[in-house]
Amino acid sequence: MLGLRYIQCFLLLLCSIIVNVHAKSAIGSRTLIVFDDRVDDLSNYSNFFNLLKDHEFDITTLELSDKSTKINLFEKDTRLYDNLILFPVKGKLYSKQLAAKKLIHFNEDGGNILALTIPKVSSDPIHLYLNQLGIYPSPRTQSLKDLFQDSNNNNLQFTAKESIENKIIYSNENAEDSIYNFGDSVSAALLDNREQIIPLLKASRTSFTSGNKTREINWTDGTQGYLIAGFQNLVNARSLWLGSVQFLSNEHFKQNLDLINDLIQWNFQEKNIIKVTNVNHYHTESNLSYDELPYKVTDNITYTISLSQWDGSKWIPFITDDLQFELRQVDPYYRITMKPQGVSPIDPQAELYSTGDFKLPNRHGMFTFLTNYQRSGLSFIHQSDVKAIRHLANDEYPRSFEIPNAWVYLASIATVIISFIAFVLFFIATPASVSEGVTTAKKTN
């Protein structure tokens, strides 16, 4: 029985590996690779390109050593590629054709970018683009070093357990003791404090950046430097920066394969993709929507949302326990953790979440029904709907006799009225009294 269980675990692991290798992108497969033969020979990365083909990417290579080569990312307003891989390139021609402004436009239009830098070559457009994102690679004169590692090898190595920062992107939980090789020419970067930046792999505590000049200040010291960092903008397009080209080379490809595979899947949107399929809110008692019966204060409302995730080949229900709903005017009036209700009856590929019954606040105005789900490494979900909540009309306020606290005052008023009426009746009904045996006489003195 124990041997059979090991065989079942092995088959499950093998199936998961096959699914991950042959995953497909949720947005498209058109990929452009920009490189320069003067910097590095592209044949040194054949295993990496074969991995991209295994992921069914349609690859186009563009070599920039020829001055007649032109880079076209758009045809009029239409984006020509879904993914862009930028190897380090020399020359000012590259800066003119692929300026940082064009890269930002490509990313804002939904394109994914994989940018690689090395200390010896300063690709100004790549550095300027990364700086706009809040990623600041070390300058051309500085490279990452670690005196506590093997000085004869000159290859910087980092373990997954100590260096990996994001466990959502790095899905291989059973390989925490894996060691990744970045070669002998590595850039380290400082990261800005932005919600869209995703730190992925940090430098070791004993590492530092060192330049050629003895008086030059180190760009990073210890774990403040990063070797891999990601960025996801508000339209969920992704950018990934690698501080080492040798990390993808054939020499270290086998050792780095599991991490490279995870980075490709995340960067080119093969995993960790979430989308909203349906949003609804309505009166709990009557199931009428806002359009059918506008909301008023203290109404009982139910809010629902359906979410799906991309598993590499199809959309499946996305299940989580930390999805929250907010009802806010300026500040949130309610923050409710929604509970999964099972597969959505409208979309079988989505999971239905509901707030349950809640009462609107006793305040009229414009309110926002908001679901803002942002987790580092996952697609951002921002779903908002602004609706007016009206006050009660004159005939909609509860009558006095319907309010329990009003009975004291009503009883007091009734007591006064009854007492006054009783006094009047008693006064009217009582006859005037005349004294008997009293005579009157006129005074004569």
Q: What is the pLDDT of residue 47?
A: 96
Mean pLDDT of the chain: 87
3-state secondary structure 345-356: CCCCCCEEEEEE
Q: What is the pLDDT of residue 9?
A: 39
Which residues lie closer than 8 Å to 169 by C-beta, 6 or more apart? 198, 200, 230, 262, 263, 266, 272, 377
Mean pLDDT of 20-41: 82
What Rg, from alpha-carbon coordinates, does the chain have? Answer: 36
The model's pLDDT over 137-175, given as tens digits with 9 standing for 90+, comes to 998 888 898 888 865 566 889 988 888 999 889 877 667
Q: What is the pLDDT of residue 318?
A: 96
Distance CA 352, CA 81 (A): 34
The pair of three-digit structure tokens given for residue 104, joined into one six-digit string: 């930002």
- Range from 78-87, 319-328, 371-380, 402-411 carrying the lowest mean pLDDT: 402-411
Q: What is the pLDDT of residue 107?
A: 96
Dihedral over alpha carbons 103, 109, 114, 115 (to 10 degrees): 20
Distance CA 123, CA 274 (A): 34
User: Helix, strand, coil % (nearest 5) of the chain?
Assistant: 25, 30, 40
Cβ-in-10-Å burial (0-12, 13-18, 19+) of 59 comes to middle
Q: Cα 143 to chain center, whole Å?
A: 32
The model's pLDDT over 47-94, given as tens digits with 9 standing for 90+, comes to 999 999 999 999 999 888 777 778 899 998 899 999 999 998 876 666
Strands 351-359 and 189-191: unpaired
- Tokens 């949003």, residue located: 279
pLDDT band for 37, please (50, 70, 90 cuts): confident
Question: 70 by DSSP, 3-state: which?
Answer: coil
Distance CA 117, CA 65 (A): 17
The model's pLDDT over 249-295, given as tens digits with 9 standing for 90+, comes to 999 999 999 999 999 999 999 999 999 999 999 999 999 999 999 99
Strands 315-317 and 324-328: unpaired
E strand spans, 54-193: 58-63, 74-75, 78-79, 83-86, 112-116, 135-137, 142-146, 157-159, 179-181, 189-191
The model's pLDDT over 205-252, given as tens digits with 9 standing for 90+, comes to 999 998 766 677 889 999 999 999 999 999 999 999 999 999 999 999
Q: What is the pLDDT of residue 70?
A: 83
